[in-house]
Amino acid sequence: MSVHTDGAVTLYGLMAEFETPGELVAAARRTREAGFKKYDAYTPYPIHELDAAMDLHDNRISLFTLIGGLLGCAGGFGLASWVSAVAWPLNVGGRPLISVPMFIPVTFECTILLGGLTAAIGMLLLNGLPTPYHPVFNVERFVNASRSKFFICIESDDPKFDREMTASFLESLGAEEVAEVAA
Amino acid sequence: MQPVELPDKIHVGPVIDPGHSLASVSDKVAGIVLKRKITLGWVFGLLISFAVLQNLMAGATWLLIKGVGVWGINIPIGWGFAIINFVWWIGIGHAGTLISAILLLLNQSWRNAINRFAEAMTLFAVMCAGMFPVLHTGRPWLAYWLLPIPNTMAMWPQFRSPLLWDVFAVSTYLTISAVFWFVGLIPDLATLRDSAKSPVSRKIYGMLAMGWRNSARHWQRYEKASLLLAGLATPLVVSVHTVVSFDFAVSIIPGWHTTIFPPYFVAGAIYSGFAMVLTLMIPVRRFYGLDDIITLRHLNNMAKVTLATALIVAYGYTMEAFFGYFSADTYERFMIWNRMTGPYAIFYWCLILCNIITPQFLWSKKIRTSPGILWIISIIVNIGMWLERFVIVVTSLHRDFLPSSWGYYAPTIWDWAVYTGTLGLFMTLIFLFVRVLPMITIFELRMLLPSASVKEPVAQ
């Protein structure tokens, strides 16, 4: 195990590679316990155990989706009512202009539409996607993050970051390889 | 809660071949898109599909020149092939959403190997379906009248009409299906970006992947959004076919005005959709050598769902007949009797044969695990479900209340041109899809592997 220096001027962070998901989860937990804040794990598929290990609990998407759904619900019902009672009122034998049961299907579909769109767009925005450039891709072996390997990257703007200390910390976690990430 | 361990004999083989690893599944599925040479069979299939697609162009062009009179529709049968095919295609689409959303919520991980393909099928089927109501208007350039858009005529759509509900239901369905599908594609597009050798494909997949970098913080939000989308798509898929059935059930035509229509339509939709998934997956799995990923277990499970929905549909047919008799209503009784013995009786009995008798073979495990026979059964079910819509639409309309207004419907060559044309469109899209996008969700496939489960090393 050795630290590769590729002569980068600025450093985004240090990246450690792991072979199995079990090693990664253990390493991620120890990274958090060591007090690091600015770090991330990269895995080829979602690993639910990481949420506990890294203490991830971002629930904002659920809230956004609820708000989007409620807006769609109100919007759908409001649209149907406004069109039927204000913009184009049709008096059919004195029946109510706002015929609630008949407006339910449109209200329901609008709820789903806005809720679903908010969930998808909210996910992209909170994840900061699209990201045209990201330093992690500067590590050659990182292409395997979308194939078969597991990575942890501790970022250089973490207050506890120190090039040598952090590198040896990552090696002590059992990393196969530790690489510097050019910014 | 502990998952219940079922005895081995219930399952037919593993969900994924035990020889696979994280790297091998990624390379195999991505390789179909990135490495595999274009084969003569694929070119041939695409060309045939594309040629058949020209029927749609010819049919639609002639329709727009002459008007809907070129179709076989008349008064009283104003809803011919257009509505039959619309309902048929929408129904086919439903299996994709069921597999991707409902089976996700139910934690059925075997779905991971087939959901991408089934969702693509949903999208393409809904595209074909959407063609029909728009063409049926005869003046598609006025189709925007269906939408609540402020206009100089100061006119607005009628929100009490099931046909307007259809517009909202189908367009929401198409939008949410496309969004769900694309969200599911993002991590796989990143895999293609990272494995692609050619700079052009790396650029294209890179742009589509939007810089996805497999970060754990992203995955956490991603999984949440997927669950939310699945939770929203589940009632949506049920609502779409319910609304489609309202087109019939809200009217007062004998044979249509029944409360059983929504559940019976939804079951029929899932039935025809699973049949179509089988029709497409069995050849794909063979030609692309995917037997180790889409295993006999998958075919067996899909066949079971097909059988279960066939039984629900059979219950629906029985109840329709019973309601006709039990209502003691002259018109309802006449309708069901006319359906069984009238000019379209042959269609009714073929439908019973295709949809109720044929799927009974699926009780046998041997048949459920023989791809060839299963494929033939799935084709028969597709035909049967098309006949069902034909029988529902035509037999109810051609003999309604007044004998003086009775009529007869027969499709013309232009009806067939548009219908076969959409089949060509559907197959063309499927052929293109299997070449340019991963037809199996790679990242979910990885989750099925035994090596993907977390076994933390013991701390020293």
CATH code of the domain in which B208 resides: 1.20.1630.10
Residue A150 domain-assigned? no
B198-241 pLDDT, tens digit each: 999 999 999 999 999 999 999 999 999 999 999 999 999 999 99
How far A177 CA sits from the closest chain B CA (Å)? 18
Q: Phi and psi of B138, rounded to 5°? A: 80, -25
Residue B457 domain-assigned? no
H/E stretch holding B105: helix B103-105
Q: Are A122 and A72 members of one domain?
A: yes
* CB proximity B455 to A under 8 Å: yes
Total domains present in chain A? 2
Q: Are A65 and A122 members of one domain?
A: yes
Q: Are A121 and A76 members of one domain?
A: yes
pLDDT for res B1: 46
Task: State the average pLDDT for chain B.
Answer: 92
pTM for this entry: 0.93
Residue B201 domain-assigned? yes
Q: Is residue B6 scored above 70 in pLDDT?
A: no
- Confidence label for B294 from pLDDT (cuts 50, 70 and 90): very high
pLDDT for res A2: 42
Which residues in chain A show pLDDT less than 70? 1-9
Residue B2 domain-assigned? no
Domain range for A115: 60-126
Residue B364 domain-assigned? yes
Residue B82 domain-assigned? yes
Cβ A137–B213 below 8 Å, yes or no? yes
Model ipTM value: 0.92
How far A68 CA sits from the closest chain B CA (Å)? 12
A-chain residues near B187 (CB < 8 A) = 45, 146
H/E stretch holding A63: helix A60-82
Cβ B168–A137 below 8 Å, yes or no? no
Give the side-chain half-sphere CA count within 13 A for B113.
Answer: 24
Cβ A148–B212 below 8 Å, yes or no? no
Q: Are A12 and A67 members of one domain?
A: no
Farthest-apart Cα atoms in chain A, separation: 86
Residue B13 domain-assigned? no
| C-alpha pair distances (Å), B357 with each of B311, B316, B380, B392, B440 | 10, 14, 11, 19, 33
Pairing between β-strand A177-182 and β-strand A3-4 as defined by DSSP bridges? parallel
Q: Is residue B2 scored above 70 in pLDDT?
A: no
B57-111 pLDDT, tens digit each: 999 999 999 999 999 999 999 999 999 999 999 999 998 888 888 888 888 888 8
B370: three-class secondary structure by DSSP:
coil
Cβ atoms of B121 and B260 within 8 Å: the answer is no
Cβ A50–B211 below 8 Å, yes or no? no
How far A85 CA sits from the closest chain B CA (Å)? 11
Residue B44 domain-assigned? yes
State the average pLDDT over residues B277-289: 94
A-chain residues near B156 (CB < 8 A) = 83-84, 87-88
pLDDT for res A8: 47
Name residues 184-203 of chain B within 8 A of A (Cβ): 186-187, 190-191, 193-195
B345-372 pLDDT, tens digit each: 999 999 999 999 999 999 999 999 999 9
How far B258 CA sits from the closest chain A CA (Å)? 17
pLDDT for res B408: 94
Which of A54, A132, A146 shows the shortest C-beta gap to B190?
A146
How far B186 CA sits from the closest chain A CA (Å)? 10
pLDDT for res B460: 46
H/E stretch holding A15: strand A11-18
Q: Give the residue from B149, B155, B160, B238 with the most A CB atoms within 10 Å of its CB, the best one to mutate.
A: B160
Residue A83 domain-assigned? yes
- Confidence label for B243 from pLDDT (cuts 50, 70 and 90): very high
Residue A139 domain-assigned? no
How far B184 CA sits from the closest chain A CA (Å)? 10
More confident residue, B158 or B10: B158
Q: Is residue B290 scored above 80 in pLDDT?
A: yes
Domain range for B32: 18-149+158-450
Total domains present in chain B? 1
Cβ B225–A61 below 8 Å, yes or no? yes
Q: Which of A57-71, B93-107, B115-129, B176-190 shows the lowest per-residue confidence on average (mean pLDDT)?
A: B93-107
Which of B22, B191, B456 shows the shortest C-beta gap to A22?
B456
State the average pLDDT over residues B310-314: 96
Q: Give the residue from B219, B445, B446 with the most A CB atoms within 10 Å of its CB, the best one to mutate.
A: B219
In the numeric block, the tokens 């450093």 are attached to: A11
Q: Are A107 and A68 members of one domain?
A: yes
Q: Are A19 and A66 members of one domain?
A: no
B390-408 pLDDT, tens digit each: 999 999 999 988 999 999 9
Residue B366 domain-assigned? yes
Instruction: Please name the residues in contact with A48: beta carbons below 8 A apart, sequence gap of 6 or more.
Output: B223
State the average pLDDT over residues B235-248: 94
Residue A89 domain-assigned? yes
- Per-residue buried b or exposed e for A73-102, using 16+ beta carbons within 10 Å of the residue's own CB: bebbbebbbebbeeebeeeeeeeeeebeeb
Q: Are A115 and A67 members of one domain?
A: yes
